[in-house]
Copies of this chain bind each other. A is one copy, B any other.
Amino acid sequence: VVTSELVDNCLNTAFEDIPDDVVSHAKKCLLNWASVAIGGSRHRAVEILVEMTRELDVGRQVSLFGRAEKTDLLWAALINGTSSHVHDFDDTHLKTMNHPGSAIAPVCFALAEKLELSGRQLLRAFILGMEADIRIGNAVSPSHYDAGWHITSTAGALGAAVAAGLLLGLNRDEMVFALGIAATQASGLLEMLGTMTKLLHAGKAAQNGLLAALLAGRGYDSTSRALESPRGFAAVFAPQSDLTKVNVRWGHDWELLKVAFKPYACGIVLHPVIDACIALRTGTKPSDVKDIELVVCPYTLILTGKVNPKTGLEAKYSVRHVAALAFIDGAASVDQFTDARALSPEIESFAARVNPIVDNTIRDDEALMRVTRIDGTVDDFHISHATGSKENPMTVSQLTDKFMALCGDRLGKKNALGFVERLGRLESESGISALLALGTAR
């Protein structure tokens, strides 16, 4: 009964039942999501998808963030989800490495636009979809990820179905079936990290979850036990799972509050490393450094162990390269992850001096760095909580700076600031058309 209990929990949670701090955090999630969706909206992967919509002659009812084109509901979910996953700059539920916003937000914006819903309706569906997504992820973690599944994509499809179902006003049975239709579409392999195909994962999760809810709302039936049946999501997708985590303390504990935002445009496990390298820069030149020993959590090498990356995208999966970029540039934003920068001899030579070591006692927002200089001096840096982690979170002001850096030029400064301001009072907005006018290209 895990699936139907989850559905009941969602249906029985009104906007008024959601604590203020959860609503505030959800708006930070949406601001962060919009900044990366707009920031990624000109990537080649996104251009290809938009070209496809022209060739297919799809409907034109829903907006694309950062762009002038419109598409149908399902393509908008796919494209906006994909663009928000471009820069590895999306929100992160740290314990599970899940980026729930990238799958849930595209569905919420698409349906709210099409159905002319209020900001409050959008926020409720977003919050409950995020909560479902993260809790389902909790139930199958960590064995699901360890088995090779990209949790953002798999759990994302289920969360997206919940959010879409709420906005479509599905009844209990329809919601349960939507989760079944979403579960059977759940997919996404970690093998794809470092290629354009990984970007598609968030978009596909959004699109598949939305399709599931649209079909269920029209009477398409499915299993009533998507999560818990012996051949359901948990059993097939995870060697070990604990489905009690899906509904435990619903309405009391909010997993959404554990979602963090990234100051750096790469995987969260690299952030403490970047903090350490930026700290090291003060008073140390690249030529001073003999070698660097980095003590990191096991995930860091599993996810970012690539050596000799050849593209900007691949560089994001190389802890050695990212350490070099952070030390030499003093930043790890979109500009660091270009193909040219990845192949820079200066970066490559520095990366060769970085030695990562795994330590099971290190948390994923933590890193120890020991630098040995040519002159024989040694220094240790300990980052206990990376910038953007739960204990050291980004503020609205920092998120606004991130939005302006990624979207200011695209939207124009005035529109960009207007977008941030309107999003900040989303729960009072009767519709989102004005917001979308500011967040799309002219």
Contacts and interface: CB of A to CB of B under 8 A. Distances in A.
Interface of A: 44-45, 48-49, 51-52, 56-61, 72-74, 147-150, 153, 177, 180-181, 183-192, 195-197, 200-201, 204, 214-215, 218-223, 225-226, 229-233, 235-236
A195 B176 CA distance: 13
Contacts of A51: 218
A7 B127 CA distance: 44
A180 B195 contact: yes
Contacts of A188: 184
A442 B142 CA distance: 54
B57 A56 contact: no
Contacts of A58: 56-59, 72
A201 to B, nearest CB: 7
Given A44-B219, A45-B220, A72-B58, A191 B229 contact: yes
B180 A148 contact: no
A74 B225 CA distance: 29
A226 B225 CA distance: 31
7 contacts: A56-B58, A180-B192, A184-B187, A184-B191, A190-B231, A197-B220, A197-B223
B189 A48 contact: no
A218 B226 CA distance: 36
A61 B57 contact: yes
Between A57, A195, A226, the greatest number of chain B beta carbons within 10 A of the residue's beta carbon is seen for: A195
B200 A184 contact: yes
Nearest to A197: B222
B200 A221 contact: no
B192 A220 contact: no
Nearest to A190: B231
A69 to B, nearest CB: 15
A231 B44 contact: no
Given A180-B192, A189-B232, 17 more contacts: A56-B59, A58-B72, A147-B236, A177-B197, A181-B200, A184-B187, A184-B197, A187-B187, A190-B231, A191-B229, A191-B232, A191-B236, A195-B223, A196-B221, A196-B222, A197-B220, A197-B223
A186 B201 CA distance: 12
Nearest to A194: B223
Nearest to A183: B189
A192 B187 contact: no
B191 A220 contact: no
Contacts of A186: 187
A191 B226 contact: yes
Contacts of A218: 48, 51-52
A148 to B, nearest CB: 4
B196 A184 contact: no
A149 B187 CA distance: 12
